[in-house]
Amino acid sequence: MKKIFFLILYLAPLSLVAQKDSLVSRVYNWKQPVSNNHRQKTSVVLFDGSTYDMKWLQMNADELTSSAAAKKMMVPVTEEQLYIIKKGELTVGINDSVFTLVHGSIILLLPGQNFSIQNKAAAPCDYYVMKYRSKSPADLERGKLTEVHLLKIGTTLYLNRMIKVEPEIIFNAQRQ
């Protein structure tokens, strides 16, 4: 009887899982999107699943070739998207603002936001797109109050498009 008790006591914690996330914590490497002669933008999913705070999380590696016209897009009302530039230049248009993102730049796009992307350079632009849904409901009003919630170009961080933050300096941001 003692042996059965200790066996149950020993094996019971193995059957319990603290977190039921589908994404495993590990290093995920860049995968080059497969080129398609008929498409300007190519994409490959690096990972897809859920985490402790995220109902759904997907990371894509995208490549955008040079183009004469901007590609119009919209963030679904149930998710937010974070763009991280790996290589090249990506021009992002939001309402009447245009931002040129370079290596290391990021931009956070809010639920329901309309925007456009374009690669005006000759070389392709490689970037990550993190799409996610929080376990908390989306705040659509937050997206209506500002064009850009978070933007980092080089070492300069813009918050809510109007505030530029640099070490010990805060002043109005300049649009292109």
pLDDT of 98 strictly over 70: yes
- Structural domain range at position 135: 21-172
**Residue tagged 């005006």 (tokens):** 120
Each residue's pLDDT tens digit, 15-43: 555 555 677 776 777 777 776 665 788 89
Q: Looking at residue 117, which CATH number applies to its domain? A: 2.60.120.10
In a domain, 10, yes or no: no
**What is the overall mean pLDDT for the chain?**
78
Each residue's pLDDT tens digit, 101-143: 999 999 999 888 899 999 999 999 999 999 999 887 766 665 5
Q: How many residues does the chain have?
A: 176
Q: Is 154 left (phi over 0), alpha (psi -120 to 50) or beta?
A: left
